[in-house]
A = this chain, B = another copy of it.
Amino acid sequence: MNSENEIKTIAWIGTGVMGRAMADHLLKAGFQLRIFTRTRAKAEPLLQSGAAWADAPADAAAGADAVISIVGDPKDVRETYFGANGVLSLERPPSLLIDMTTSEPSLAIEIADAARAKGAGSLDAPVSGGDVGARNATLSIMVGGAPDDFERALPMFRAMGRTILHQGDPGAGQHTKMVNQILIATGMIGVCEGLIYAQRAGLDPLRVIESVSTGAAGSWSVSHLGPRMIARDFEPGFYVEHFVKDLGIAVAEAERMGLDLPGLTLGRALYRRVEKAGGGRKGTQALFTALEELAASTSDSA
C-alpha cells in the first residue's frame, strides 16, 4: 500500500455506546479522529483523549482520509451522507466512506453509487457483538463493497473487531447483518418459550440451561440471556427498539425479494409487542415478558 493511500485521519460520526468504544480503539491505534455526533457531551471522553471536534459531518470529513459512521437508523445514515451538511455535500469527499450502522442494503448501494460519482470508495460494515464486543474489540464486522476498499479499511477494522469478513458487493454487509438478526430473533423465541415451559413444569430453569446448553440446543442466547430472563434482569445489552428497527429492515428486504419467512414475521410481531408495552429501552431478553403474557392469557382463559 503506498503512503498516499494510507489512512491517517478519520472523520468519525456517531458516539453512542458502540461508536464511542470503537472510536477509542482507533485513537489508541494511532489514528487521528475528527468527531461529529448529535450530542457533543457523548463525545467528551474522546475529545479528552485527543480527538478533534467538528460541527457537522461535512466539517469532520473535509480533508480527512476516511469517514466512519455508526449512527441510529437509516434516516440518520441518509442525513450523515446526503444531508445539507452531509459528507457527500463535499465536492471532494474522503476517498473511503464506511458506514457501520445497521441499515438498509439499498441505502448502502445508494451511498456507494454517490461516492463513486465523486471518486470515492465506500463500504457497508455493520457489526455484531454488542457493547461488550465493542469494548473488547472482538466485534464481528460484516463488509460489503469493493475488495480494494476492504483491503484499505483492514487496519481500522482490525483495531475494532476480530471476525472481519468481506461478504460481497455494496449492501452485502447489511444483508449479512440481517441474517444475523433473523437468527437471533427466531432463536430468542425458543429460549423464552423453553424457559417459560421449564418454569411452568416446576423445573429449576438455571439447572435446565445446564442440561441443554452443551448440546444441539445450545446457543449464545440461551447461555447468556437465559439466566438474565430467569433473574428478570431486563437491563439493555441491546435495546429492543433498535432490534425492532433492524427486524423491520429484514422484513422489508425479505418482502422485496419475495420471501415469506414465518419465524422472522413472528419474531418481529413479538418484539413490537414488547416495544408497544413500553419496553423499547429494555434489552432484547425482555421478549420473555411478551411470551409470558401470551402464555398467561391463554392460561387464564383455559
On whether A179 and B208 interact (CB within 8 A), knowing A190-B187, A214-B140, the answer reads: yes
Bound together, the chains give a CA A194 to CA B259 distance in angstroms of 11
Q: Kindly state the interface size class of chain A when it binds its partner.
A: 35 or more
A210 touches B259 (CB 8 A): no
B266 touches A266 (CB 8 A): yes
Contact of A183 among B191, B250, B294 (CB under 8 A): B191
Point out the residues of chain B lying under 8 angstroms from A200, CB to CB.
Answer: 257, 259
B261 touches A193 (CB 8 A): yes
A164 nearest in chain B by CB position: B211
Any B CB within 8 A of the CB of A227: no
Point out the residues of chain B lying under 8 angstroms from A257, CB to CB.
Answer: 197, 200-201, 299
Which stretch of A2-10, A41-49, A168-176 is in the interface? Answer: A168-176
Contact with B along A176-209 (1 / 0, CB 8 A): 1011111111110111111111101111100110
Contact with B along A251-270 (1 / 0, CB 8 A): 00110011111111011001
Any B CB within 8 A of the CB of A128: yes
On whether A179 and B167 interact (CB within 8 A), knowing A190-B185, A216-B128, the answer reads: no
**Which of A105, A192, A193, A270: most chain B Cβ within 10 A?**
A193
Bound together, the chains give a CA A219 to CA B196 distance in angstroms of 20
Contact of A189 among B142, B186, B191, B204 (CB under 8 A): B186
Any B CB within 8 A of the CB of A123: no
Point out the residues of chain B lying under 8 angstroms from A176, CB to CB.
Answer: 198, 203, 208, 211-212
B207 touches A167 (CB 8 A): yes
Point out the residues of chain B lying under 8 angstroms from A222, CB to CB.
Answer: 183
Any B CB within 8 A of the CB of A30: no
Any B CB within 8 A of the CB of A302: yes
Any B CB within 8 A of the CB of A84: no
CB distance from A27 to the nearest CB of B (A): 24
B217 touches A183 (CB 8 A): yes
Any B CB within 8 A of the CB of A133: yes
A224 nearest in chain B by CB position: B216
Any B CB within 8 A of the CB of A221: yes
A298 nearest in chain B by CB position: B260
Bound together, the chains give a CA A262 to CA B192 distance in angstroms of 11
A263 touches B263 (CB 8 A): yes
Bound together, the chains give a CA A214 to CA B195 distance in angstroms of 23
Contact with B along A120-157 (1 / 0, CB 8 A): 00000000111001000000101000000000000000
Offer 28 A-B interface pairs, CB within 8 angstroms, sorted by A. Answer: A128-B212, A128-B217, A142-B212, A162-B214, A165-B207, A175-B198, A179-B197, A179-B217, A182-B190, A183-B191, A183-B219, A186-B186, A186-B189, A186-B190, A187-B187, A192-B263, A196-B261, A197-B250, A197-B254, A197-B257, A197-B261, A215-B220, A219-B219, A257-B299, A262-B270, A262-B291, A263-B266, A266-B266
